Homo-oligomer: A and B are copies of this chain.
Amino acid sequence: MNMESFLSNNIKAALKNDPPGEWMPALPDKCIRLSSGYPEPSLVPTEQIKESVVSLLDMEKDLPLHYLGSSQIDKLKGHIHQRLTERAMGVQEDELLLTSGASQAIDLIARILIDENCVVALEAPTYMEALEIFQNYTEQFISIPVDELGLQTEKLEEMLKDRNENGLPLPRLLYTIPTFQNPTGTTMTKERRKHVIELADQYNFLIVEDDAYGELSFDQPSIPLKALDCEGRVLHVGSLSKVVAPGMRIGWVSAPAELITAMNWFKKDLDHPFSQATMATYLDKADLSERLNTLRTTYESKCGVLLSALEQYLPDSVSWYIPKGGYFVWVKVAGVDTSTLLTQALNEGISYVPGKYFYLQEQEGMSYLRLSFSYASKEEIVEGVRKLAKVIGGLE
């Protein structure tokens, strides 16, 4: 029986636009994973999470294992609320929604705001999963390039002016990762932050600020867009994935109450009460500020190792941005198709993410690759870059 005939028209279009199966190849067992945006293994608080589960279930018995039984879930909201307030993003209680990681937040945002008639503005390059999520809702995109100072807001303005003058539809929202962007590692300057908010006010669009890496700064923290926003145009998406553990799937979105109400409706009970209650119990005891300091120092040091190795081993034709936080270094290997190169790299025992995955127009990313310094050890990072240099050198 032909099952495809049962698929809805929207989904047929989305699948055509963005067919499944074009993922990263499987990594060999002993591969040095410079592709993985996972936290440093030694900094995942495994023991503390274990203790939190034991203490939660001793305290509340079966309650956290029902649908909404645990009083800890509200506490988790309190913890996140407090953290937002400390970062100058005071929000009301009805302006915060817990989600299953940042992914669910982005999906819910797309779900309530975007249909096939809407235009979405994206950074080029941008986070591949967000790109895929938005592609499930519309085919109309505008790409705005990112440079080492973040999103090029003057290009955004040009585009908006141009579309306005030509009667073309303006974007309903802009999705941006202003701080330690995935994949480029770059951070939007304060001037550009103010500019993008002015543009949103002037051209009446919303901004989705994906702030997954925002707290992992090596020096001065950046001011979130949400903290600069007077009109309530910024939907701030956060996550504990990079700060505690991704497998717990704790994320959130803070946004105007009307939008939170609509998102909550579509979320229904796709919550994970046990995971949320465990995280709340963990945060009750954890010193998050101290933890963040450890994370920052560790990642700064690992980033330094990666940058030194790149300097030492890679030919002059290869260049990169220097990140001030986050997980990633964005590398340009001029004239090389990094997607083809990956096969050789994997054979050599090192993985990265080819640039094409981060672009709407895949060919734009052809000579870029994303390296992550978060997961691999320092020794692996150096060895990985050496292997990468060998593979790139082998082309010459």
Contacts and interface: CB of A to CB of B under 8 A. Distances in A.
Given A9-B115, A245-B65, A247-B67, A100 B272 contact: yes
A112 B46 contact: no
Nearest to A276: B247
Contacts of A50: 53-54, 57-58
Contact of A259 (B6, B64, B107, B270): B6
A252 to B, nearest CB: 15
Nearest to A69: B247
A15 interface: yes
A44 B62 contact: yes
A30 to B, nearest CB: 16
A115 B8 contact: yes
A270 B101 contact: yes
A140 to B, nearest CB: 13
Given A136-B266, A246-B67, A117 B9 contact: yes
Contacts of A136: 266
Contacts of A21: 261
Nearest to A261: B20
Given A57-B50, A66-B44, A7 B129 contact: no
Contacts of A118: 8
B66 A46 contact: no
Interface string A90-115: 00000000001101100100011111
B10 A270 contact: no
A274 interface: yes
A12 to B, nearest CB: 9
A29 interface: no
A103 B268 contact: yes
A315 B197 CA distance: 66
A112 B54 contact: no
Interface of A: 1, 3-4, 6-11, 15, 20-21, 38-39, 41-42, 44, 46-47, 49-50, 53-54, 57-58, 61-62, 64-67, 69-70, 100-101, 103-104, 107, 111-115, 117-118, 129, 132-133, 136-137, 172-173, 206, 231-233, 245-249, 256, 258-259, 261-262, 264-266, 268-275, 277
For the complex of A and B, list the 7 residue pairs with the smallest distance between their C-beta atoms, beginning with the closest. A44-B62, A65-B245, A8-B115, A65-B247, A3-B258, A20-B265, A247-B274
19 contacts: A3-B256, A3-B258, A6-B206, A8-B118, A9-B115, A15-B262, A20-B261, A38-B66, A46-B57, A46-B65, A50-B58, A54-B54, A65-B245, A101-B270, A103-B268, A107-B268, A129-B269, A247-B272, A275-B275
